[in-house]
Amino acid sequence: MTNEEIGERIAGYLHGELLDGERDLRIEPETPLLEWGVLNSMNTMRLLNFIREDLGVTVPPAMIAGRHFRNLAAISDLVSSLSAAES
């Protein structure tokens, strides 16, 4: 799966599950998810479960940090690199 496909799946999850499908809000690669409060602690755990269950990637606890979760591009990069390392 490409980094772009990973980003699209994560964006779809965020939009549909964490933002209640709010139509006026579009998640771009650089959308500041932490600053906007989208990824509070509960939502981050929900996202980690989605990444594990849907994308088959487990994010190590040491990598659950602001720089890896600041925006969609950072999350996609992290998941892509972890997926490649697991292959």
Residue 67's domain spans which residues?
A: 3-86
What total number of domains does the chain contain?
A: 1
pTM score of the predicted model: 0.88
Residue 57, domain CATH: 1.10.1200.10
Residue pLDDT, tens place only, 34-59: 888 888 889 999 999 999 999 999 99
- Reading the block at residue 17, the tokens are 């599950």
Q: Give pLDDT tens digits along the chain (87 positions).
A: 888 999 999 999 998 888 775 666 778 899 898 888 888 889 999 999 999 999 999 999 989 888 899 999 999 999 999 999 877
**Residue pair 76/54 in contact by the 8 Å Cβ criterion:** no
Q: Is 26 helix (H, G, I), strand (E, B) or coil?
A: coil
